[in-house]
C-alpha cells in the first residue's frame, strides 16, 4: 500500500464547482431541499460517486449513499462519512458540502493507495439538513436514525406549500431503499466550525466531543388591529409590541445567565403588515440552544412563564407550536481520541470542542458511535456568502478524516 494522501486540487475544485450550482441572477447561492437547484447539485454529486466506482443507493427520503464494498467485507457494517449539500438562502459554499466531498475524497485516497478495508466505507449526503424549506432540520438523518417515520417526513409541507415527498419524486430523488437500510459501524462528519473559536486560538483542528441541545418553537401573538393615529397607547392590544418584549426578554435572559445558553428570534411577521395599522397578529420563531439538558429545559420553562405573564399584561392571546426539540449529544470518546491523535500525527494543533450548531452527526449518534471534526471558519462567519476557510485548513481537515477513517476501517 502506498502512502495515504488527499487529492487537494480535486477536492478544492469540486467544492468550488458545487458552489456554483444553484446561483440566481444576482449570484446568490441557494439550494433548498427538493428544489431544482438541489436536483442539479445531487446530480453532480452522484456523477462523482459513479466516477469513483461506488455503488449509489438512495432511500425514500432522498438520502444519497455512495458505498465502497467488496465481496470480502460486504456483510459487515460500514464506516459512514457524510454531511449534506442543501443550503440556506444566500449561502456560502462550505457548510455541509465540505464534509460530503471530503468523504468522497477519503474513499478515493484509500482506493488510490491500494488500501484494503476490513469493512465497507460509505459517504452520505443527507436530505434537508438546513430545514429552511421543510421543518425540522436534519430531517434526512433523523429519519435514517428512526427518530421520525418515513411517511411523516414525506408528508411535511414546506414554507411554499409544497410537500417533501412530492418534490423528491419530481426531482427524481424519491429512492427505493427504506431509510435506515445502511446501519453504520461508526460515523464521522467533517465540517467547518461556523464559529470563531479555532481561528481565535490559532488552532487547526477541533475534535468535537458534544453538541448543543436545540429547541425550536413558533410563537403566535393575537391582539387587535386598530388605527395607528387615533388609538391611545394605553388602549392598545398591540401584538407587535408584545413580540418585541419577547425578543428583549430572551436576549436579557441569555446574556444574564452566565451560561452558554443562546436565544435567537430568526423569523418574524406582522399582520396586517401596514404602516398605519396596529398589528393584530405577530408570528415569530424562537431558537434556544444549550449543551446542558437541564439548562435548556430551564430556558424553555422561563420563556413559557414569561409568555403567560405577557399575555395577561398586554391583553393578548399567545399560542406556541413546537417545531423541533433535540437533546444535547455526547459523541463517542474513542473516535474523539482518534481525531486528536490523527491531528497530533500530522502536527496540527487541536482542541476538544462543543458544537453550537446542529448537525447530522447528532442524529446518527442515536444508532452508531459518532464524532465530528471541525476546521476554522474565518471570522466565525457561516450561513453567509462571506463564509470562508483557507484551502490549507480544508486539506488539513480532510487529511485528519482520512487518517481516522483508515484506522476505523482497518480495525476489527
Annotated binding site for Zn(2+): 84, 95, 130, 191, 383
Smallest CA-to-CA distance from 95 within 132, 65, 62, 44 is with 132
Smallest CA-to-CA distance from 216 within 362, 324, 357, 363 is with 324
In angstroms, the CA 46 to CA 40 distance is: 10
Residue recorded with cell 432540520: 137
| Residues 324/214, Cβ–Cβ less than 8 Å | yes
- Which residues does the annotation place in the binding site? 84, 95, 130, 191, 383
| Residues 378/233, Cβ–Cβ less than 8 Å | no
Please state the length of the chain: 412
* Half-sphere exposure (Cβ direction) of 40: Cα atoms closer than 13 Å: 15
SS (H, E, C) the chain: CCCCCCCHHHHHHHHHHHCCCCECCCCCECCCCCCHHHHHHHHHHHHHHHHCCCEEEEECCCCEEEEECCCCCCCCCCEEEEECCCCCCCCCCCCCHHHHHHHHHHHHHHHHCCCCCCCCEEEEECCCCCCCCCCCCCHHHHHHCCCCCHHHHHCCECCCCCEHHHHHHHCCCCCCECCCCCCCCEEEEEEECCCCHHHHHCCCEEEEEEECEEEEEEEEEECCCCECCCCCHHHCCCHHHHHHHHHHHHHHHHHCCCCCCEEECCCEEEECCCCCECCCEEEEEEEEEECCHHHHHHHHHHHHHHHHHHHHHHCCEEEEEEEEEECCEECCHHHHHHHHHHHHHCCCCEEEEEECCCCHHHHHCCCCCEEEEEECCHHHCCCCCCCCCCHHHHHHHHHHHHHHHHHHHHCC
Amino acid at each position: 500500500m502506498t502512502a495515504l494522501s488527499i487529492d487537494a486540487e480535486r477536492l478544492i475544485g469540486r467544492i468550488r464547482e458545487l458552489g456554483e450550482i444553484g446561483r440566481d441572477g444576482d449570484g446568490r447561492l441557494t439550494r433548498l431541499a427538493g428544489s431544482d437547484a438541489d436536483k442539479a447539485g445531487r446530480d453532480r454529486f452522484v456523477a462523482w460517486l459513479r466516477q469513483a466506482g461506488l455503488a449509489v443507493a438512495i432511500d425514500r427520503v432522498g438520502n444519497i449513499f455512495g458505498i465502497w464494498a467488496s465481496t470480502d467485507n460486504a456483510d459487515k457494517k460500514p464506516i459512514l462519512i457524510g454531511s449534506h449539500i442543501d443550503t440556506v438562502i444566500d449561502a456560502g459554499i462550505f457548510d455541509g458540502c465540505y464534509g460530503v466531498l471530503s468523504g468522497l475524497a477519503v474513499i478515493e485516497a484509500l482506493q488510490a493507495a491500494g488500501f484494503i478495508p476490513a469493512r465497507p466505507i460509505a459517504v452520505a449526503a443527507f436530505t434537508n439538513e438546513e430545514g429552511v424549506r421543510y421543518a425540522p432540520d436534519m430531517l434526512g438523518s433523523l429519519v435514517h436514525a428512526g427518530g421520525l417515520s418515513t411517511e411523516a417526513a414525506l408528508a411535511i409541507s414546506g414554507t411554499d406549500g409544497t410537500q417533501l415527498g412530492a418534490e423528491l419524486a419530481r426531482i427524481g430523488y424519491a429512492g427505493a431503499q427504506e431509510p435506515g437500510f445502511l446501519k453504520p459501524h461508526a460515523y464521522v462528519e467533517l465540517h467547518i466550525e461556523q464559529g470563531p473559536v479555532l481561528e481565535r486560538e490559532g488552532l487547526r483542528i477541533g475534535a468535537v466531543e458534544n453538541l448543543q441541545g436545540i429547541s425550536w418553537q413558533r410563537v403566535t401573538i393575537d391582539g387587535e388591529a386598530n388605527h395607528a393615529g387615533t388609538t391611545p397607547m394605553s388602549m392598545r392590544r398591540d401584538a407587535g409590541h408584545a413580540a418585541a418584549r419577547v425578543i428583549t426578554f430572551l436576549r436579557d435572559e441569555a446574556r444574564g445567565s452566565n451560561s452558554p445558553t443562546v436565544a435567537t428570534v430568526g423569523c418574524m411577521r406582522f399582520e396586517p403588515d401596514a404602516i398605519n395599522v396596529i398589528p393584530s397578529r405577530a408570528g415569530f420563531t424562537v431558537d434556544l440552544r444549550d449543551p446542558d439538558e437541564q439548562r435548556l429545559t430551564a430556558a424553555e420553562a422561563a420563556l413559557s412563564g414569561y409568555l403567560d405573564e405577557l399575555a395577561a399584561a398586554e391583553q393578548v392571546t399567545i399560542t406556541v407550536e413546537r417545531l423541533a426539540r433535540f437533546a444535547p449529544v455526547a459523541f463517542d470518546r474513542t473516535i474523539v481520541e482518534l481525531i486528536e491523535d490523527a491531528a497530533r500525527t500530522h502536527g496540527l494543533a487541536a482542541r476538544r470542542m462543543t458544537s453550537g450548531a446542529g448537525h447530522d452527526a447528532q442524529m446518527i449518534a442515536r444508532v452508531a458511535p459518532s464524532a465530528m471534526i471541525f476546521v476554522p471558519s474565518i471570522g466565525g462567519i457561516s450561513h453567509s456568502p462571506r463564509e470562508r476557510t483557507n484551502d490549507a485548513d480544508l486539506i488539513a481537515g480532510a487529511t485528519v478524516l482520512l487518517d481516522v477513517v483508515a484506522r476505523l476501517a482497518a480495525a476489527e
